[in-house]
Amino acid sequence: MNIYVGNLAYGVTDNDLRDAFAAFGEVSRANVIMDRDTGRSKGFGFVEMPDNAQAEAAINGLNDKPLSGRAIRVNEARPREDRPRRPRH
């Protein structure tokens, strides 16, 4: 399952995400999205967990819980096609 993680503190790394979710099961990938112009975190990321039951447990266990001082938002990621493209300036 692909999991969206939002409201991340700017200092959170891929490894921080992996560690938080690994408490609930196997993590196949953890990725904080970085701004390609500034190299800074955009404040959200994605975690992939192959076991859906573990992923659901992670979503329920981590949503609205603090990570690096901020309450994170955690839910199942929507497919990319569902989101409109924003024009690049």
Q: What's the pLDDT tens digit per position in 8-57?
A: 999 999 999 999 999 999 999 999 999 999 999 999 999 999 999 999 99
Domain ranges of the chain: 2-79
Structure tokens at 42: 């955009």
CB-based contacts of 24: which residues, under 8 Å, 6+ apart? 49, 54, 55, 57, 58, 61, 62
In this structure, the strands spanning 73-76 and 41-48 are unpaired
Specify the CATH number of the domain 2-79. 3.30.70.330
Maximum separation of any 2 CA atoms in the chain, in Å: 41
Give the closest residue to 6 by CA, choosing from 61, 70, 54.
70
pTM of the model: 0.87
Please report the beta strands in the chain, taking only residues with DSSP state E, as ranges in sequence order.
2-6, 29-34, 41-48, 66-67, 70-71, 73-76
